Structure 1
Amino acid sequence: MRTPAITPVITLVFLLTGPALAIDLENGQDINDVCAGCHGEFGQGGGDSEYPRLAGMPAEFIAKQLHLFRDRSRPNMAMVEYIDERQMPDEDIRDVSHYLAGITLKTKLPPVDENAPDFDAYARLKASKQLMQIPRAEGDVERGEQLYRKECGSCHGDQGWGDNEKAVPQLAGQFTDYLWRQVEKYRNKVRIHDETDPDYELLNDFRDDQLKDIFAYLSIVDD
């Protein structure tokens, strides 16, 4: 049996609305083997920011996006062949969402003495694969922080790490190019920012230079 990349618990029970549902993290890891081709072995994203980071996102948020892909409510050609009812039933969506939500990506490795007798080069290499830090984006970080805290922090958290209880995704630790692409999709109504008021699009209230500064701030949060 393979060692999971997260806490080694095979089955957890979460009390949801209705009866308790078992979360099979081993099944989630198996499903993630397919996702890893684009999103990385540890959900760190890839393809030169073409594919977003999934690790650490709220499980409910990941599951919701998978349902939107499956229902064709969120268009994405790259997902089509993987996300139909037969290939991705509700149980699999639940399992892989919780598996990905449980992965922690470090932003830096602790210093080590490579000449020490107990230095484990292989363990160090494995740990480095779960390392992720977003490159600093262009923009005014100070102004971006002020704008972010005023306009975005109440939902996405003070430093952009999201809200698990409310299933609000993290923005910090996410590829800047990917965030720009999503802005365009929200502005063009390909994605809906607020389902309770689908005709109102918050991002249309921001100028590009303001978003540039916000993304500059978000890109340094994980430094």
Structure 2
Amino acid sequence: MPFASIRYLLLATAFASLPAAAVDLEKGKEINGTCAACHGEFGGGGKKGEYPRIAGQQVKHLESQLKSFRARTRVNIPMFPYTQERELSDEDIKDVSAYLAGIELPTKMPEFKGHEDALTRLQMVEKVMIIPRAEGDIEQGGKLYQKQCASCHGKAGKGRGMFPMLVGQYTNYLKRQVDLFLKADRPHDEEGTVGVLNGLKEKDIQDILAYLTSIQEPKE
């Protein structure tokens, strides 16, 4: 092998072995101060699902959506000034996405030990996020979910890579996004405008949503 090729190979190997740039969680927390105006301090979203839960969401999904908002490939009026006027850099997006992905929201009320001050107790309660049980056939919804959705969103609905977490998300928000997908106002993972969701009946979708509200796992 020529010397130049060996040198190139060594350089490429060296760069490939370099650790990825570390995220700045403190900076991410600072950036989240803007997000909190709609999504809440802990990323729980709007109480009626007008704003989605972003806490604990898949980091790659958060990054991809923020970049889509910034590029206007996913049109969202409230997000436009946030991503444009602030001029979020790729580094900013990584930092805030990592910070949000690391927030855990318990699904049952806390048990106080007796040593917490009033503010700590209030924050513990505010972080609790329990999605009300949605109407529908949970058993049928579970079968449909595992067959149609689990390969991308995970068997427990917690997402995978670019695919978002669905469990613990507001039912109203999920239903609204499904409607946008079906109207082709928001792209799904498939090419074109027809995909998995188009093959489901309205009752099927409602049953899946009901199933998702039944598998919230409390964190000890």
- For the criterion TM > 0.5, the same-fold answer is yes
Structure 2 residue 178 is matched with structure 1 residue 178:
no
SS at match of 1:84: helix
1:149 to partner: Cα distance: 1.2
Structure 2 residue 56 is matched with structure 1 residue 52:
no
Normalised to the residue count of structure 1, the TM-score between the two structures is 0.84
Structure 2 residue 198 is matched with structure 1 residue 204:
yes
Aligned counterpart for 2:145 among listed residues 143, 148, 157: 148
Q: What percent identity do the matched residue pairs reach? A: 48
> What is the root-mean-square deviation in Å for CA atoms of aligned residues?
2.2
Q: Which runs of 5+ in 2 are unaligned?
A: 1-14
Aligned-partner Cα distance in 2 for 1:19–1:119 = 39
Report what 1:162 is aligned to: 159
Q: Does the C-alpha gap of structure 1 residues 119 and 53 become closer, same or farther in structure 2, counting only changes over 3 Å?
A: closer
Paired letter, 2:207: D
Q: How many residues align?
A: 203
Aligned-partner Cα distance in 2 for 1:172–1:178 = 12
8 A contact 1:186–1:201 mirrored in 2: no
Report what 1:3 is aligned to: none
Q: Which has the larger radius of gyration?
A: 2
Q: How does 1:101-116 map to 2 (within 5 A)?
A: 101-112=101-112
Q: Does the C-alpha gap of structure 1 residues 51 and 16 become closer, same or farther in structure 2, counting only changes over 3 Å?
A: farther
8 A contact 2:59–2:97 mirrored in 1: yes
1:189 to partner: Cα distance: 1.4
Q: How does 1:77-92 map to 2 (within 5 A)?
A: 77-84=77-84, 86-92=86-92
8 A contact 1:142–1:217 mirrored in 2: yes
1:124 to partner: Cα distance: 2.2
Aligned-partner Cα distance in 2 for 1:190–1:17 = 41
SS at match of 2:22: strand
Q: Deviations over 1:165-196 (max 9, x none)?
A: x232111100001011111111121211125x
8 A contact 2:158–2:166 mirrored in 1: yes
8 A contact 2:108–2:128 mirrored in 1: yes
Q: Which runs of 5+ in 1 are unaligned?
A: 1-14
Normalised to the residue count of structure 2, the TM-score between the two structures is 0.85
1:18 to partner: Cα distance: 7.7
SS at match of 1:87: coil
